[in-house]
Structure 1
């Protein structure tokens, strides 16, 4: 995998999905959907990221190739996406929606 390749890191909890676009050790973008992976992929396309993302890891593939090599390299991003989706789910539960 090239160092400059962008990777979609996603986590879902029910219909709530969070996608983080990462390159190396930085975050290039973030998208959130309450319409599962399909909605997340649409949102990433609307923001213009899908044309620039090469690989994915996580719950949503958006038609991308699975990231080659050890996924532990992006363990920080997987944990970050999971923290965001869990926080949003708790907030939604607290608001009763």
Structure 2
């Protein structure tokens, strides 16, 4: 799915018509979600090998899986909360924190 289609899907599914989020803000969200999904797939692929080796990376893989789960559970809630922030500076600051 192209980034533009993802943006349209996010707008339709999660945001109100009166959203103050810009296309750039939504693009940041798309990238954040895509990166989390890639990390989750990587963690799932490595998990069995890491478990056999009793590697410290196992803890990191578990954390990535947990972060992905939290992101999936809160994606709608998070966007709704960001949408309700009236100060654009604060809104952009929070989105920049998500992108890091």
Which band: TM-score by shorter chain? under 0.3
Q: Which has the higher contact order (CA 8 A, sep 6+)?
A: 2
Give the number of the structure whose alpha-carbon radius of gyration is greater. 2
State the TM-score, normalized to the length of structure 2: 0.26
More strand by share: 1
More helix by share: 2
State the TM-score, normalized to the length of structure 1: 0.27
